[in-house]
Structure 1
């Protein structure tokens, strides 16, 4: 998903309520019906809808447009509710009774129920309409969470009452942070006192003890980046890179500073663009630095996946 824009809700149109003619189910909360709202499931009203859109800038909101007493709708509502509890606040499930609140339902410009739509940073993102196997629903939710993370929507929804308010005593006590392994703690303490050499040594030892220690690998890559940029000047580095566009070391220096400043796309793009024209030694330098960048940014970041593909194509 690209960067979210302003909300594109439109309250014109109508929703097909043909589900009213299908097999019926008890109302939510009664035996045989969908669960009552609560926890990470909230029922949306005309009054709470604007706040819901606003909250989607903090955490992902998954909207179920449904008729609660329709059997198929109730089954999907139950599945989504179970997943909302399982994901424990990584998204909020917001249920809209399309019959009771037709204006809210029409704002999503859907044609029938049940329909599931995500809202990220105020922008609706259609997901699917009708029933779906639980494995597919889970896969769709995972994609929503990935898109949310890529767009900086990383908060967690608070546990709620059925009317969308946060219970007065529902805020859980903060969990104590887990203890770091000794070498990781040693590296962390060294970084805190700006002793990057000791931090690098601690992470290196941790990797020797366990080559699959992904956190140590990422930590070492981050410390190396801090070491390389400690005394660097961005203006001087950019001038040198502009004067020598084919100089691998000059481009690496600017890319380091871009990455440190959060300009991930610029840093990755600069090195990947240089790869095809670099000689063998230059290609190896660029490859090693890109692999470090992948660890710093995080292997699950979608930008890393795209950059890996370009790296593979350029090298092979």
Structure 2
């Protein structure tokens, strides 16, 4: 039986359906506790922009992320681009009115967090949703690009985790509308995947998509279930030898890329197929290209490794 919660990310994977389901359950429990506390007068609406350090990171970021996406701005006083980006993020946090919370972390005073997130340079922007981290972008990006990234983040938080935001400080904001109950067919698909019934899960996800073609969670689940079905029974050593011995054999490279991805070697899987596209032509090239696009669906369109691989693919094709 293949595991469902494959490692797909260097920090914490938002693309694993099982992890999303477990995090969603924890988030729902945390929201229920918060609602009870608020009813007892124990909880107050949150601020939209907060300064965070290592001592309060768990409370202010990890725990808070079960109710609202937390966007982290890694910055420093000496950083010129940070001074361009931070005001944009702060203004957007107010404009989005509780759809996300901005946590500002001074890297000079919080080296441990800087290292744990694997930050390569600042400004760097990450998000935490239901306790899971996601790299968003690095550098002083244009405001329109920042808006697009935030919109994608909010969509991911709602569709995969049922997290829709919080009320803002001062009572001006409103609690987000209650989330609709989970589609029972989608729940059945998740259960089939958990049980190792890959054929049943694939059919169930396809049933969901036939009624709702835009369901992100079903698309992700289907892509992962199909990937797991493809690698079942493969002899890893044999597959890798065949790929090494036959670099122009598209099907050999596809099988090896699938194994790379299941093993968490995302860049290797993408690079292998980009190279295959480069060295082939006609139907072989198209098969490699289409399969690479399918693997993008497994990891998630917003993953920076997918963005980089799309760029590499475009350079090969054009």
TM-score by length of 2: 0.53
- Whether the 8 Å CA contact 1:61–1:119 is kept in 2: the answer is no
User: Partner residue of 2:104?
Assistant: 93
Distance in 2 (CA, whole Å) between partners of 1:309 and 1:250 is 24
Of structures 1 and 2, the larger Rg is shown by: 1
User: Partner residue of 1:314?
Assistant: 316
Post-superposition offset of 1:267: 0.2
Q: 1:251 to 1:216 in 2, by over 3 A?
A: same
- Whether the 8 Å CA contact 2:299–2:306 is kept in 1: the answer is yes
- Whether the 8 Å CA contact 1:218–1:296 is kept in 2: the answer is yes
Post-superposition offset of 1:255: 0.5
Post-superposition offset of 1:208: 2.9
What secondary structure does 1:93 align onto? strand
Distance in 2 (CA, whole Å) between partners of 1:198 and 1:77 is 44
Q: 1:177 to 1:225 in 2, by over 3 A?
A: farther
- Whether the 8 Å CA contact 1:57–1:122 is kept in 2: the answer is no
Distance in 2 (CA, whole Å) between partners of 1:92 and 1:222 is 32
What secondary structure does 1:197 align onto? helix
Distance in 1 (CA, whole Å) between partners of 2:220 and 2:88 is 40
1:125 aligns with 2:122: yes
CA RMSD of aligned residues (A): 4.7
Q: 1:41 to 1:306 in 2, by over 3 A?
A: closer
What secondary structure does 1:125 align onto? coil
Distance in 1 (CA, whole Å) between partners of 2:152 and 2:187 is 29
User: Partner residue of 2:253?
Assistant: 251
Q: 1:137 to 1:208 in 2, by over 3 A?
A: closer
Q: Which has the higher contact order (CA 8 A, sep 6+)?
A: 2
- Whether the 8 Å CA contact 2:48–2:98 is kept in 1: the answer is no
Post-superposition offset of 1:257: 0.8
The aligned length equals 220
User: Partner residue of 2:42?
Assistant: none
Q: 1:246 to 1:119 in 2, by over 3 A?
A: same
- Whether the 8 Å CA contact 2:270–2:309 is kept in 1: the answer is yes
Post-superposition offset of 1:53: 8.7
TM-score by length of 1: 0.53
1:66-100 alpha-carbon deviations (Å, 9 max, x no partner): xxxxxxxxx999847736963544x4136xxxxxx
User: Partner residue of 1:304?
Assistant: 306
- Whether the 8 Å CA contact 1:54–1:122 is kept in 2: the answer is no
Alignment of 1:168-187 (within 5 A): 179-187=181-189
Post-superposition offset of 1:119: 5.6
Distance in 2 (CA, whole Å) between partners of 1:263 and 1:278 is 23
